[in-house]
Chain A
């Protein structure tokens, strides 16, 4: 868009003169190794990539690192970064009327063609509004005109886009690697032509995986539930099918190296996308299907290239369930062979609870420092584990714990959730008992040095999961369960972490909210809500007042059990897993029926019929789903051809 507001040189000068008065000025300077700086005047199309949180969190976001590389890989596109300023910096900027700017060239965000936000979780919604406001971009889609940046958002929380529908021009549902360039082409063609914002929306809506909320109108019934969502123009598809890449592209290796400490100060390499386990509480496991793995060679080469480019001392091999990666042993061996002498700390999160996991970590760690070993049983009784479909037996867990302590670890971190459907206080007591049993095993093997850290979060039902209909625990239920755990899990060797129940409520309103919640978010933000994920900043009062002002009842969203035939606010977003499958799985959970890993047997979740053509074009090991031999009789998903530059 045309250059308006402060010039980069003025912003630069202002920063130079003011940064010493804020905490951690290194958040606001840019200039790190491997950042990409292109000549602003020479590049006709500009994208600002935003994570609406502080630098330390935003820099750890892999999604944006991927888009940064893809966009900057285009000769005629530039991409620069922006994160939320901490309140001390925000106050200074507002006082001096300095707009939010990009780290690379210090251009005001309003001067970019696209502002692309990553929204992996709901806690970022008020910060998103604040970021738009600091950028001088009209908050409401309906107030934006031709000259305003096009605001797009993606990430897991986009799978229920409705609460943020008033503020986002277009959502990317699903994976961004391919779709981002299609969006760039459409926005560029629109910008260089004529036509209003509605013209742009119609064109964006034709892209597979793009949801343009302004083109849809929700209608409600008298009891406040959703009746239906109406598509207002012919281009608006019902439903909007999520975007996937048929094969994972080679991983990013040229990561930006921060000069201040950040949350995940490491090389993140995604070894596999999707998960075949089918844990019923897990949204990621449902919406990232099908499972696609990267070849061992590609991963190892990427680590090598990334080490050379960054000098990082830590590598995270990321996936939703590392143990399920087909060649996990080969991968771990290759990594330890090739990098064993490089003093690397290699993380392999999300391991299954079995002794093989201990062998894997043993191979990776060599003689190096052993911190905590993390296991996530999620529930402590067989009954609960059957309900959530994470069948691990307690003897198996104890045996694994024994192996961990025997192999030199002193601390075991156990992750649980309270608030699973039909959980009783006995199930919670069992969490405490299990932690103590594990500690007892540890004491026997390593004596007083044994530690058990229990991380107990609270379950929030999520869209597109078999638990999307269930009520979330009430504040009173959560507090009673937490009191029990706090009473039980104390003393030497035991540590308990839990989630603030008020923050859980916040997550619960928003995760299954409808479009009317946009008003609540707006008014909460106006009342000062921001950085909702930061205990000391979370302003429960502001949210309560906002609900009251808008005239909505938060418990309608949190504690209400939805009938399975209710039209849900995200039903017009198709994650490619059948609602039929989710319903069946929910009913199975009520009977305590479990499903095995779907690598062993396909349960027809819906991925294959939806993406049959893609699967047929990518046979063999690329996907973990069964092969599709015959050509699909259904029309394949339409993709628009890229407009030649």
Chain B
């Protein structure tokens, strides 16, 4: 029995900014169940729901165009899917698009290369911040330690700029095993990340053509 695979574009609002990746997985499963869609499960002793969220969003962030793939045992029309899921979604989860995907096509993790964030930073000194950004971009290496692991932040920053009104725009590498975190960039700019809410604008996928 073959399943039908779908790719959804969704946003994660403020209500869900403290819901982590694993909990979001469960939230998706429950949303799909409430929408009465026939979610596919793996075979075996511990069947797993076939849901695959691309690129975990760091805790505290919001987003508007994240991606999730899941498999169903039947094939509803993508338009109905969006409607059904939004009707059943929990506060903070909003589906904007659904498309049917070839069963054997690559996983999201193999497609996503980077992600774009915007971070409102009202209250910062513009000149000062601008100088720090230049210094950061000029650096060859930015050695950092996260969870006792050493890594270099610099190659993970693809783009970083200051926009109007006071907000940072950044593009970070988002491949499995090499993911830039907006809070780490903020710390590198000597800004306390805790009160800020980075917002992920989109995920950038590898061009397969």
Contact = CB atoms under 8 A, between A and B. Distances in A.
A31 interface: yes
A45 to B, nearest CB: 25
A97 interface: no
B144 interface: no
Nearest to B36: A308
A29 B47 CA distance: 32
B120 interface: no
A29 B92 CA distance: 12
Given A259-B27, A308-B34, A310-B34, A18 B91 contact: no
Given A25-B59, A343-B41, A343-B47, A31 B194 contact: no
Interface stretch (B15-23, B110-118, B159-167): B15-23
Interface string B197-209: 1000000000000
Contacts of A26: 18-20, 23
Interface in B1-47: 15-16, 18-20, 22-24, 26-27, 29-34, 36, 41, 45-47
Contacts of B47: 343, 368-369
Interface residues of B, number: 31
A601 B47 CA distance: 47
A322 B45 CA distance: 27
B195 interface: yes
Contacts, number: 70
A392 B33 CA distance: 42
Interface in A6-27: 16-21, 25-26
Given A16-B195, A17-B195, A21-B194, A29 B15 contact: yes
B23 A259 contact: yes
B193 interface: yes
B50 to A, nearest CB: 12
A21 B18 CA distance: 11
Nearest to A18: B194
Interface residues of A, number: 26
A312 B30 contact: yes
A16 B18 CA distance: 10
Contacts of A21: 194
A25 B88 CA distance: 24
Most chain A beta carbons < 10 A, residue from B26, B29, B36: B26
A257 interface: yes
A287 interface: no
B31 A311 contact: yes
B194 A17 contact: yes
Nearest to A258: B23
A19 B15 CA distance: 13
B15 A260 contact: no
Contacts of A441: none
Contacts of A18: 194-195
A33 interface: yes
A16 B30 contact: no
Interface in A25-40: 25-26, 29, 31-33
A257 B59 contact: no
Given A31-B91, A259-B27, A16 B34 contact: no
A25 B18 contact: yes
A313 interface: yes
A31 B30 contact: no
Contacts of A561: none
A237 B60 CA distance: 54
Interface of B: 15-16, 18-20, 22-24, 26-27, 29-34, 36, 41, 45-47, 59-60, 88, 90-92, 193-195, 197
8 contacts: A20-B60, A21-B194, A257-B30, A261-B22, A311-B29, A311-B32, A313-B33, A343-B47
Given A310-B30, A343-B41, 12 more contacts: A19-B18, A20-B59, A20-B193, A20-B195, A21-B194, A29-B15, A31-B15, A31-B91, A261-B23, A309-B34, A311-B32, A369-B46
Interface of A: 16-21, 25-26, 29, 31-33, 257, 259-261, 307-313, 343, 368-369
